């Protein structure tokens, strides 16, 4: 009887949450559609690539409870493969991006087989060690160009029809890729697979006792996250016509952690907000020179103290309190 008593309240909360997600998504898309006419398109394209990267990382951390310190290896390696496929192999842009995504997915499968055998800080350290191995491989491998990277990557045409040398054409292509990745992550989270991931995050021993093979679910989440991070990295390489060591360096893994925590870990829109916040700070505070790091650190301290759940986490908590009242 108690379960039946609370069921209507739960269904109303789920319906309210679904309405909130729909409205927030429409607002987000409306802003992105008009953004290139207000802001420099290349800046927004960079933020969109990092937003997709952060959403992919949030799928692993926020909903799977797995903290990876090596996610840059997927973004960076996908960028190298995509740039090499477009410049050397002469593949069309869409196939070059898919090649980079496939490489990141394969790398994610191999790394996941090793990493998911451990939990907590040991899992994080294994991913960091693997990422460092990938970094030194990228530094020494002939096809990566070493410290120079792969430069002058051709943008080509999308589907053989639309010339991507136009900033607007490139922007809306990136927006389409981001939207597809974002909706895929949303569908994963709200699928039975996503519900099992949340159960593993909350109480893995209980999930095991219910008969779920948690290692398989964690490996699947790791591979999906790696593939979507690779999609972001491959797209970024085409946008900037460059694949370099920056995207595979360990600091990039730390940056995506900050994006996720700042925006709101375990929320749908938090990583997007966090990515845009950090990219905006990097863009507009760079003129401070050596004071940039200090200023950025102070902003992070204030945000952590003021928004303990992240920006979107606190906003969604306020909405829930308002619905209760």
SS (H, E, C) 15-46: HHHHHHHHHHHHHHHHHHHHHHHCCCHHHHHH
Mean pLDDT in the chain? 88
pLDDT at position 46: 94
CATH number at residue 82: 1.10.3470
pLDDT at position 163: 86
Range of the domain at 196: 2-324
Tell me the mean pLDDT in the region 150-171.
87
CB 273 within 8 A of CB 263: yes
CA 114 vs CA 107, 127, 148, 212, 218: distances in Å = 11, 9, 31, 20, 12
pLDDT of 130 higher than 80: yes
User: What band does 314 get if pLDDT is binned at 50, 70 and 90?
Assistant: confident
Question: pLDDT tens across 53-90, in order?
Answer: 999 999 999 898 899 999 999 999 999 999 999 999 98
pLDDT of 4 higher than 70: no
Burial of 62 (0-12, 13-18, 19+ CB in 10 A): buried
Count the domains in the chain: 1
For residue 128, give the nearest of 314, 286, 253, 213 by alpha carbon. 253
Rounded distance between C-alpha atoms, residue 76 and residue 94, angstroms: 18
Cβ-proximal residues to 295 (8 Å cutoff; 6+ apart), any chain: 285, 288
Residue in this structure with the two tokens 């797209």, named with its chain if needed = 235
Angle between helices 250-263 and 120-140 (to 10 degrees): 140
pLDDT at position 275: 93
Tell me the mean pLDDT in the region 300-324.
81
For residue 79, give the nearest of 46, 39, 112 by alpha carbon. 46
Question: pLDDT tens across 200-240, in order?
Answer: 888 888 988 888 888 999 999 999 999 999 999 999 999 99
């Amino acid at each position: 009887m108690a379960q039946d008593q609370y069921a209507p309240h739960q269904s109303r909360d789920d319906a309210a949450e679904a309405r909130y997600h729909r409205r927030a998504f429409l607002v987000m898309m409306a802003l992105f559609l008009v953004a290139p006419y207000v802001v420099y398109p290349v800046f927004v394209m960079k933020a969109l690539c990092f937003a997709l990267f952060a959403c992919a990382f949030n799928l692993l951390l926020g909903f799977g409870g797995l903290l990876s310190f090596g996610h840059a290896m997927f973004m960076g390696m996908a960028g190298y493969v995509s740039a090499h496929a477009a410049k050397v192999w002469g593949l069309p842009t869409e196939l070059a991006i898919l090649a980079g995504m496939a490489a990141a997915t394969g790398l994610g499968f191999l790394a996941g087989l090793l990493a998911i055998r451990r939990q907590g800080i040991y899992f994080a350290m294994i991913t960091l060690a693997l990422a460092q191995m990938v970094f030194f491989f990228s530094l020494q491998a002939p096809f990566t160009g070493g410290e120079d990277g792969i430069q002058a990557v051709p943008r080509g045409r999308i589907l053989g029809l639309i010339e991507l040398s136009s900033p607007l054409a490139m922007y809306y292509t990136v927006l389409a890729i981001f939207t597809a990745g974002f909706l895929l992550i949303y569908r994963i989270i709200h699928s039975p697979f996503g519900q099992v991931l949340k159960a593993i995050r909350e109480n893995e021993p209980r999930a095991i006792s219910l008969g779920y093979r948690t290692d398989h679910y964690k490996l699947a989440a790791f591979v999906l996250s790696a593939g979507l991070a690779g999609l972001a990295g491959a797209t970024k390489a085409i946008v900037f016509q460059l694949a370099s060591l920056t995207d595979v360096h360990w600091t990039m893994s730390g940056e995506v952690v900050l994006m996720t925590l700042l925006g709101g870990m375990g929320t749908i829109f938090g990583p997007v907000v966090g990515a845009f916040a950090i990219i905006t700070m990097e863009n507009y505070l760079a003129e401070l020179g050596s004071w940039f790091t200090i200023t950025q650190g102070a902003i992070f301290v204030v945000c952590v103290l003021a928004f303990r759940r992240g920006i979107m986490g606190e906003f969604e908590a306020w909405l829930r309190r308002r619905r209760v009242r």
